Amino acid sequence: MHPRIEDYALIGDEQTAALVGMDGSVDWLCLPRFDSAACFARLLGDEENGHWRIAPEGADRCTRRAYRPGTLVLDTEWETAEGTVRVTDLMPQRHRAPDVVRVVEGLSGKVTVRSTLRLRFDYGGVVPWVRRSDGHRVAVAGPDSVWLRSEPEVRTWGEDFSTLSEFTVEAGEKVAFVLTWHPSHEPRPPLVDPYKSLRTSVADWEHWAARCRYEGPYRDAVVRSLITLKALTYRPTGGIVAAATTSLPEEMGGVRNWDYRYCWLRDSSLTLGALVAAGYHKEAEAWRDWLLRAVAGDPADLQIMYGVAGERRLPEFELPHLTGFGGSAPVRIGNGAVNQLQLDVYGEVIDSLWLARRAGLSPKPHMWSLQGVLLEWLRAQWQQPDEGLWEVRGGRRHFVHSKVMVWVAADRAVRTLEEYADLPGDLSGWRELRDAVHRDVCEKGFDPVRNTFTQYYGSQELDAALLLIPRFGFLPPDDPRVVGTVDAVRAALGHDGFVRRYDTAADTPVDGLPGAEGTFLACSFWLVDALHMTGRTKEARVLFERLVGLANDVGLLAEEYDPVAGRQLGNFPQAFSHIGLVNTALTLFGGDKAG
């Protein structure tokens, strides 16, 4: 039986990440970066596509597992007839090379443990040559080299193009495995002490988590979400990937499978707001600085997403040798939506930089001039149709959310000039732009018969992004048009209280794709915010509690949720979902104290 998405837990070193299943198997790991080719790709295929399982011989799913509080260090335990054993998984902060550390510890009795390491480079397509060297097993293929050692050393042997080991542990005994990647043309990097790495990682994560200044209800869920965002951050640049995976399906067996191992501008202002509000100014500055570098250049060339270091070319292609998660094909690498026009990202960028200024983040001399250039481009181009924030592949339209975000861009620029009169800028012209966009949206994007804004000009369809209208200040929460829109979106796109992005079954589906998708967790958090802002706080808190309850046993959320099958869908863990959880908790309980 294929695992469910929620069966996985995340470990990482802030440059890449691995997914560990409830059976003790690492089924996904890209080295050396989030967007590198995977050396374990069982997640999207089968065992022959690479994995590393450590578990008691003959055992299946674990008895229990949990992160150590305030850390990304995972403990997985099995109770067997012979005794109890724990496997502790982590990826310590790297110096030169990425390491995966797995510590096996006997808790009671005497347990036989088996390790099966099946390395398959290039997304499960390349079997490496394996040899022994200085107490290691060394696997090499093309540019990749992986070294495996244990401490104390246990016997390993090759079988079926895999590296196996079998040993026993009694109460108090430990065996640590270290898997290290490095470019095959370079010497082996220095060895890490697995036990010291474990102690250091626990202490570092605990120190980081303690900085969270939110003290309201559901603090554990908020801290876990912030740790997840930290884990999805590419430390060298500050960029935050949307998820650690590619091609986890939005519909089981469907084709809506996309690569999310990149950084989206769509997420920028909500991400920055969450980090600042929770007390993580250093991380917010790193994200702001990544944003400034990524968008530098001709404003006409602004992309909706970039690589973790700001790369612009993310060509999309398929991997036919992988069958997909639960048979959901194709498996895609890269993302063709990178070439789309999305006017909303201009508003996201300008709003992010406005938030950064208000939060007192360290100023950058070119930050304001960049905003002016972006806004001048918007002034000339805002009346174009675009693909919208959901990256639809069914043609451009005049999406209401995109126009609202154009208004946000103009509004934030006007408010900046009103507060900082010494800054250069066309205050009167930008006010005119702001007013013109507002009139346009209210005249062409609002249905007075149903008292709701619509997905795009002239349509009958709705869009969950409309729930953001009061959050961004386009209209006040008590405006009847806002209340009507919230009610209409909930009625048309709601399913068991949760919210879909839009109607994929419409007569003219906007995204141009077959099939359906689950309810979108970020949008469901937006509904909580909107209910609270429109005076329905009791309903909002009930829905928030249900959403928090959708997290898996270690507190992680995917992109979507299927309320019929009761399972998570989409790439995992999803930054946008965890950003939604943090922002909504701060909205609902930011002034409260625990208890």
What CA dihedral angle connects 347, 350, 354 and 355, to 10 degrees? 60
pLDDT at 363 over 90: no
From the list 345, 340, 362, 335, the residue with the least C-alpha distance to 268 is: 345
| Both structure tokens of 437 | 């966009």
DSSP string, 364-428: -TTHHHHHHHHHHHHHHHTTS-B-TTTT-SS--B-BHHHHHHHHHHHHHHHHHHHH-TTS---HH
Q: What is the mean pLDDT of residues 41-62?
A: 97
Q: What is the mean pLDDT of residues 411-427?
A: 96
Report phi then psi at 490, rounded to 5.
-60, -40
Crossing angle of helices 219-231 and 194-209, rounded to 10°: 120
Q: How far apart are the first and last CA of the chain?
A: 42
pLDDT tens across 207-255, in order?
999 999 999 999 999 999 999 999 999 999 999 999 999 999 999 999 9
From the list 486, 582, 468, the residue with the least C-alpha distance to 535 is: 486
pLDDT for 595 = 24
pLDDT at 594 over 50: no
For residues 82 and 110, the answer to whether their CB atoms sit within 8 Å is yes
pLDDT tens across 559-572, in order?
999 999 999 999 99
Mapping DSSP to helix (H, G, I), strand (E, B) and coil, where does residue 537 land?
helix
Identify any residues that bridge with 318 across adjacent strands, giving them in sequence order. 332
Q: How far apart are CA 76 and CA 235, in angstroms?
A: 27
Please state, rounded to an integer, the average pLDDT across all residues of the chain.
95
Q: What is the mean pLDDT of residues 126-152?
A: 93
DSSP string, 283-307: HHHHHHHHHHHHH-S-GGG--SEE-
For residues 36 and 16, the answer to whether their CB atoms sit within 8 Å is yes
- For 283-301, b/e burial (b = at least 16 CB within 10 A) is bbbbbbbbbbebbeeebee
Mapping DSSP to helix (H, G, I), strand (E, B) and coil, where does residue 229 land?
helix
Instruction: Enter the pTM of the model.
Output: 0.96
For residues 356 and 286, the answer to whether their CB atoms sit within 8 Å is no
* Residue 27 CB-density burial (10 A; 0-12 exposed, 13-18 middle, 19+ buried): buried
pLDDT at 593 over 50: no
